[in-house]
Structure 1
Amino acid sequence: MMDTIEARKHMVDSQVRPNDVTDPALVRAMSTVPREAFVPTNRRSLAYVEKDVPLFDGRWLLKARDFSKLVHGATIQPGDLVLDIGCGYGYSSAVISFLAGVVVGLEADDRPIERATETCRTHGYDTVAFVQGTLAEGCPKQGPYDVIVIEGGIETLPDTLFAQLKPNGGRLVAIMCEDGVGHATLWTRHGEKRGHRILFEAYPAGILPGFEKERAFVF
């Protein structure tokens, strides 16, 4: 049987700390949240390996290195309202709840929402709420958000999501992919102006549904 406490410590020591993730609250969260509880039962042995873990069709749990660096780049503050898009079974939302005030986890279907809600309730992560909706449309009713985190690769960033950021300093992080290469990127909003900065290179397992680039028709 896997020693999950030891596996979690090894994950943090080998995949998180050496990759310039210095926020003590984030390190503590990833040392605390039981990652294996948020993956399918038959994949729990993969929870702490250094790769994206398949959850269900079109969704993966980002490897610890990429997830921690992405969240670190968002500089989430106590009291922030965070939208977590493509949250799967809720691991990312649970971790982010250690950093933020309130987390809204967005998924497209009922079943993962039900499981994420139950798992977070079981472990006492009570500042997370999960909602159903189209990922690329976000959740404007609960916004505007201090931070939006997109849990997977994207090829396009819809303007509808940028509009859900708070006008003064709202941040969005995602892995923008082109021709098989991904760059984790931080976007910021200042009024109607936006800025962006590449954070690091990454290779996510797939593109989140609704964030694909429209393919040109070729004769």
Structure 2
Amino acid sequence: MTDFAMRRTMMVDTQVRPSDVTKFPIIDALLSVPREDYVPDAKREAAYMGENIALDGGRVVLEPRTLAKMLDAVDIQRDEMVLDLGCGLGYSSAVIARIADFVVAVEEDQAMAADAQANLSEHGADNVAVIAGPLVEGNAKNGPYDVVLVQGAVEVVPPAITDQLKDGGRICCIFAEGMLGTVKVGYKIDGNVVWRHSFSAGAPLIDGFQKPREFVL
């Protein structure tokens, strides 16, 4: 029988801590959430490898290092509300739920949203609401949010998303740039978002977050 708890500890010790992620709430959350329960059944054995895990529709569960460094960069506080865009089968939301006050998880794939809700409920993550709907629309109804995370790569962030961020809030995305992406954190100051480079990481581009294509005659 696979010792997933041992693999979880090894994941933190070999992938997360060496990447300078040392905040206790993040380490504790990664050690507590069973990643193997939030990936497709056929990929449970690969749950703790240092790579993105493919889901349907070109989406992924971000590699542990990337998610951990994104969480470190936005520094979620215990009393904050987080919008998790593209939650997949619920892993990122389960981790965030152990750090934040409440998580609104948006997933546009209806089947994945249902599975995410089932997974989160099974593990008692009762401070997460899974919403099935377009990722590019976010979820204004439950906003505004202290923090927004996008679980995949983007070329642009629609104003509809940044409008849902509180003034003083943070948003973290992987911007697709060539072969490897750049993770940037946006800080909303006086209604405008100022982006700062954080680290390099890669993920597939999420549909709907592409730049408009220019047509040349």
TM-score by length of 2: 0.97
Which position in structure 1 is the counterpart of 2:156? 156
1:66 aligns with 2:66: yes
SS of equivalent residue, structure 1 residue 31: helix
**Aligned-pair CA distance for 1:45:** 1.1
C-alpha distance in structure 2 between counterparts of 1:48 and 1:109, whole Å: 24
Worse-matched range after superposition: 72-81 or 177-186: 177-186
Which position in structure 1 is the counterpart of 2:213? 215
SS of equivalent residue, structure 2 residue 15: helix
Residues 30-81 of structure 1, C-alpha deviations (whole Å, 9 max, x = no match): 0010000001101111110111001111210000001100111111001101
Which position in structure 2 is the counterpart of 1:55? 55
Residues 176-187 of structure 1 correspond to what in structure 2 (within 5 A)? 176-187=175-186
**Aligned-pair CA distance for 1:218:** 4.8
SS of equivalent residue, structure 2 residue 71: helix
| Aligned alpha-carbon RMSD (Å) | 1.1
**Aligned-pair CA distance for 1:131:** 0.2
SS of equivalent residue, structure 1 residue 104: strand
**Aligned-pair CA distance for 1:145:** 0.2
Residues 9-29 of structure 1, C-alpha deviations (whole Å, 9 max, x = no match): 110001111101111011000
Which position in structure 2 is the counterpart of 1:175? 174
Which position in structure 2 is the counterpart of 1:87? 87
Q: Structure 1 segments of 4 or more deviating over 4 A?
A: none
SS of equivalent residue, structure 2 residue 165: coil
C-alpha distance in structure 1 between counterparts of 2:59 and 2:7, whole Å: 23
Letter in 1 for 2:176: C
1:192 aligns with 2:191: yes
1:13 aligns with 2:13: yes
Which position in structure 2 is the counterpart of 1:131? 131
SS of equivalent residue, structure 1 residue 14: helix
Q: Which runs of 5+ in 1 are unaligned?
A: none
- How much identity, in percent, do the aligned residues show? 40
TM-score by length of 1: 0.96
Report how many residues are paired.
217
Which position in structure 2 is the counterpart of 1:109? 109
Worse-matched range after superposition: 154-163 or 30-39: 154-163
Residues 82-104 of structure 1, C-alpha deviations (whole Å, 9 max, x = no match): 00000000000000001100001
Letter in 1 for 2:62: L
**Aligned-pair CA distance for 1:2:** 2.3
C-alpha distance in structure 2 between counterparts of 1:116 and 1:70, whole Å: 21
C-alpha distance in structure 1 between counterparts of 2:129 and 2:123, whole Å: 14
Letter in 2 for 1:37: D
C-alpha distance in structure 1 between counterparts of 2:79 and 2:120, whole Å: 19
Letter in 1 for 2:197: I
Q: Which runs of 5+ in 2 are unaligned?
A: none
SS of equivalent residue, structure 1 residue 153: strand
Letter in 1 for 2:4: T
C-alpha distance in structure 1 between counterparts of 2:182 and 2:101, whole Å: 28
C-alpha distance in structure 2 between counterparts of 1:195 and 1:20, whole Å: 24
